[in-house]
Amino acid sequence: MTAVKTLGQFIIEKQADFPYAKGELSRLLRDIGIAAKIVNREVNKAGLVDILGDAGTTNVQGEGQKKLDVYANEQFISALRSGGECCVVASEENDECIYIESEISKNAKYIVAIDPLDGSSNIDVNVAIGTIFSIYRRRSLEGKPLIGDVLQKGREQVAAGYVIYGSSTMLVYTTGKGVNGFTLDPSIGEFCLSHPKMRIPKEGKIYSINEGNYVHFPQGVKDYIKYCQEEDDDSGRPYTSRYIGSMVADIHRNLIKGGIFLYPVSSAYPKGKLRLVYECNPMAFILEQAGGIATDGSNRILDLVPDHLHQRSAIFLGSENMVNKLMEFLSGNNLVTRKVENVISAP
């Protein structure tokens, strides 16, 4: 039987990749892993809320019930607060950054941006949800951290990861040296290395988009969707459409099987819906590290300059060949080719 490698063991082993590392990032990742286990325990009990009392009420043990996303936010912030390696947390749940000003944290090197419970519309219906996190090194050297410490380009990320609370719970992360996935073994309460050196297939056959918004999409996206639906034996089209509505779950599936995830601008979301700092950037970093591409349609996601914490962006990410094909449609090049084909094949 091969020996199990836990997340904790793996993190310490990988510290050697960074010769000058003092262990702070390792401790930070470990803290996030511990908070994820606590959140996982509550997520698994989510269906019992109706039996034990609704959010906002008191359960039979006399404990106040909290909405899960609020609970998850508190758990991650409290783990980061007590860990001492993080001086600022930027969370989807909080309008402003949270500065950790305790003696041990105020001069800490790292900044964490987090979406504590992504895919919140799926919580009540027992569908996979996730946590997304992103870690930056603080730039300013002293005093209270500056907003510029938080609003760095995605390519400055030191680490990023997600936790998926699905049919099993997994933590997937990168420190810029590939992507590794760990599955929670509930019998020992540890994340164990289950998906080493994850790579997204170069070609895929799954496209993930909320097609209900079709009429509102830019023409290039509409054309690409039609392309995905056309019959073509050589490329294996029509492709498969899969959309869970939890970014983490949709991207996790595409990372393993090959595919593309699209959330374009639309009339409802003229700047895109997903948040650059704690959704798009971390997922883009992971996907690029796994061999994929992430773009907003014109620019690499990781090159965008955030101008505020909750900034939104369009995002297209996934298998290299699929994203490149989409880009042809967005630039209009493919339209020309297809029109010519139509003319030639007309009787």
Per CB under 6 A, residues contacting ligand FDP are 118-121, 210, 245-247, 273-274, 279
Question: Minimum distance from CB of 175 to ligand FDP (Å)?
Answer: 24
Question: Minimum distance from CB of 246 to ligand FDP (Å)?
Answer: 5
Which residue, 8 or 245, has its beta carbon nearer to ligand FDP? 245
Phi-psi region of 43 (alpha: psi -120 to 50; beta: other; left: phi over 0): alpha
Which residue, 80 or 274, has its beta carbon nearer to ligand FDP? 274
Is the preceding peptide bond at 238 cis, omega within 30 degrees of 0? yes
d(CA 122, CA 113): 22
d(CA 314, CA 275): 9
Question: Minimum distance from CB of 184 to ligand FDP (Å)?
Answer: 21
Which residue, 85 or 279, has its beta carbon nearer to ligand FDP? 279
Question: Minimum distance from CB of 280 to ligand FDP (Å)?
Answer: 10
Which residue, 76 or 110, has its beta carbon nearer to ligand FDP? 76
Question: Minimum distance from CB of 5 to ligand FDP (Å)?
Answer: 30
Question: Minimum distance from CB of 260 to ligand FDP (Å)?
Answer: 13
Contacts made by residues 163-166, CB under 8 angstroms, sequence distance 24+: 163/36, 163/39, 163/40, 163/130, 163/131, 163/248, 164/128, 164/129, 164/130, 164/248, 164/249, 164/252, 165/39, 165/40, 165/43, 165/44, 165/128, 165/129, 165/130, 165/131, 166/128, 166/249, 166/252
To which residue do tokens 């983490």 refer? Answer: 248
Which residue, 119 or 201, has its beta carbon nearer to ligand FDP? 119
Which residue, 119 or 181, has its beta carbon nearer to ligand FDP? 119
d(CA 240, CA 314): 22
To which residue do tokens 């595919």 refer? Answer: 259
- Is-contact 115 89, C-beta < 8 A? no
- Is-contact 228 207, C-beta < 8 A? yes
d(CA 235, CA 229): 11
To which residue do tokens 């989510």 refer? Answer: 46
To which residue do tokens 């819906």 refer? Answer: 273
Question: Minimum distance from CB of 110 to ligand FDP (Å)?
Answer: 23
Question: Minimum distance from CB of 129 to ligand FDP (Å)?
Answer: 8
d(CA 303, CA 267): 25
Which residue, 119 or 204, has its beta carbon nearer to ligand FDP? 119
Distances (CA, A) of 296 to 161, 210, 228: 20, 16, 19
Which residue, 81 or 242, has its beta carbon nearer to ligand FDP? 242
